[in-house]
Chains A and B, each alone.
Chain A
């Protein structure tokens, strides 16, 4: 999954990038399923691999000349270099560090997912509605026709 994500960043063709991102999302969704998080997995697949990919491809279609941007040659090797360096350092260091993280044993989780979401994190839902409104209004505002400000 990480491989596909990195591919998504590194690939030149925008459409291939979008596809790589979609595949990566799919894989992430499967990982979520394996972590006993079916709701998150379903959400990730349907929303990120689905909806966001569609939006991406829509945008790419609307700016079809976009792939003429030449990335700097510097970028082409800095990015993989930094990434690989991080992976190496991280692999060596992280396990030891994480072992040292103190943690409280947490109580058993009660209730079903529905209860946790609707009753435990209700304010989050209000926030979700708010952020959806923000997104909708933003798109409406940014695509409006007519009098513009110069």
Chain B
């Protein structure tokens, strides 16, 4: 496990945490989704760097590619939801979506 690997995992963790923190505090729906994207980046970096460290870069690539495909479907669905939310309630503020309580 070389030094570079440590860096990669460190950055990946930083990305994921940034995204999670953003999810907790941000209010704009689209911003929230950007947070989700950032988390996704962190995870793909983690996957690939783990594969890199083990010498299994090919398998890791296959995993990351699959993960990216999943991410695209997710983005499409989420943005479709966001657009619909905007149409029905004219706002992108998550506080407005507080009608239902957990």
A and B touch in the complex (CB under 8 A): yes
Interface centre among A18, A31, A59 (most CB of B within 10 A): A59
Chain B contact patch, size range: 35 or more
Main secondary structure of the interface of B (DSSP, over half): helix
Query: Do residues A63 and B83 form an inter-chain contact, with CB atoms below 8 A?
Result: yes
Query: Do residues B66 and A128 form an inter-chain contact, with CB atoms below 8 A?
Result: yes
Known: A2-B11, A90-B10, A113-B58. A55 touches B52 (CB 8 A): no
Counting residue pairs across A and B whose Cβ atoms lie within 8 Å, the total is 227
Q: A-side interface residues toward B, CB under 8 Å?
A: 1-2, 5-6, 8-9, 14, 17-18, 21, 24-25, 28, 31-32, 35-37, 39-40, 43-44, 47-48, 51-52, 55-56, 58-60, 62-63, 65-67, 69-72, 74-75, 78-79, 82-83, 86-87, 90-91, 94-95, 98-99, 101, 103, 106, 108-109, 111-113, 116-117, 120-121, 124-125, 127-128, 131-132, 134-136, 138-139, 142-143
